[in-house]
Structure 1
Amino acid sequence: MTCNLVQIGTSKGVRLPASILKALEYPETFYLLFENNQIVLQPQKSRKNWAESFKEMSGNGDDKLLIDDNIDLDIL
């Protein structure tokens, strides 16, 4: 697939086809990598269902601190 650079203010951008965005479930953000002289965009997946997972953890008693709040950070 070929695409063109478009002017966006003083920057340039690339328009992604709606079909590609739909296949990626319309991500809001991407990781941009530059590797081997290639630009790679990877969708940043949102962490779905976190609120429900934390509620379930609380109900199971799995939400206890693993590290004491009173730890002296200066010794780390």
Structure 2
Amino acid sequence: MKASIIRIGNSQGLRIPKSILDQCGFEGEVELIVKDHDLIVRSTKTPRAGWDEAFKKMAENGDDELFETDSPISTRWDEEEWEWK
């Protein structure tokens, strides 16, 4: 997709279509990086931010064990609908 550089006050900018913003998940602030004469627009939000600390806290509390049972849990669908073929 091509976009035109437009004047915005004393600066210049790009209009980014909503569909692209939605696909990238951009909201509010973004990071601009210039690399090898290319402009890279990257989200400032990091996926899974804080997960490491949350997992450490879970381990300290003993909440990080797998949920397993000796026998599988069956549902009504398993009992009434499932058929081996």
TM-score of the pair, normalised by structure 2: 0.51
Q: Which residue does 1:25 correspond to in 2?
A: 25
- Structure 2, unmatched stretches of 5+, are 62-85
Kindly provide the amino acid, as one letter, of the partner of residue 33 in structure 1: I
The answer to whether the Cα contact below 8 Å between 1:32 and 1:39 also exists between their aligned partners in 2 is yes
Residue by residue, what CA displacement relative to the aligned partner does 1:22-69 show, whole Å, maximum 9, x if unpaired? Answer: 112342111100000101100111788x7xx89xx6xx89xxxxxxxx
Larger Rg: 2
Q: Which has the higher contact order (CA 8 A, sep 6+)?
A: 1
TM-score of the pair, normalised by structure 1: 0.57
Over 4 Å off, 4+ runs: none
Number of equivalent positions: 55
- Structure 1, unmatched stretches of 5+, are 62-76
The Cα RMSD (Å) is 2.4
